[in-house]
Amino acid sequence: MENKVKLHDKTFKLFIPNEQIEKAIDAVAERLNQDYAQATDEDPVILLCTLNGAVIFAAELLKRVHFPLELKACKLSSYEGTQSTGVVKTEVPLPAHLEGKRVIIVEDIVDTGNTIVAMSQLLKERKVKDARVCTMLLKKEVYKKDVKLDYVAMEIPNRFIVGFGLDYDELGRNIKDIYVLDE
């Protein structure tokens, strides 16, 4: 595990080691297993992975949850560089046939919440039975929206981070620990 990494023009320092991330995911998966124990093969839960940042988190959850589920993905984006643009674009639309389904939105990180608000709105329009949010990370000081965040694996301060799926201009997703911008 390197103490510092350089991506493009910026240096990042070690922030959350992999073992600590995995422990936090164990705890969240345990809660999901309890809350969704009643799901059946006829009515599986939809695990909706938000690309690209949540892929590793979603994979780690998949290894730990035991109820019947279908894995789906979609992609909304709001970030350029290290800043939220405030405008949420749909790059890969939501999957079909969500009506009446129970959905778990799997997010890498909730920051301003613009993405999660847009996602909840889209799911409402699709008439899902229930939509909950499961995010690996939450920037608690920044998030001021009303959408309930049902499952939060870790809370972090308002800092820009990379690794474990999260990127800085597309680099850094394949780092197994989380690093923070070194300012």
**Phi–psi pair at 178, nearest 5 degrees:** -100, 135
120 part of the interface to ligand IMP, by CB under 6 A = no
Integer Cα distance of 77 and 99 in angstroms: 24
CB of 159 to ligand IMP, least distance (A): 7
Nearer to ligand IMP, 114 or 120 (CB): 114
Q: How many whole angstroms separate alpha carbon 1 and alpha carbon 123? A: 39
- Residue 177 makes contact with ligand IMP by CB under 6 A: no
Annotated catalytic residue, options 9, 111, 130, 169: 111
User: In the bound complex, what is the minimum distance in angstroms from residue 110's beta carbon to ligand IMP?
Assistant: 5
Member of 25, 48, 110, 175 binding ligand IMP (CB under 6 A): 110
Residue 79 binding ligand IMP, by CB under 6 A: yes
d(CA 175, CA 106): 19
| Total number of residues that touch Mg ion (CB under 5 A) | 3
3-state helix, strand, coil split of the chain in percent (to 5) is 20, 40, 40
164 binds ligand IMP (CB under 6 A): no
> Which residue, 143, 161, 160, is CA-closest to 152?
143
Give the tokens for residue 20: 């600590």
- By annotation, the residues acting in catalysis are 111
Which positions touch ligand IMP (CB under 6 A)?
53, 78-79, 84, 107-116, 160-162, 166
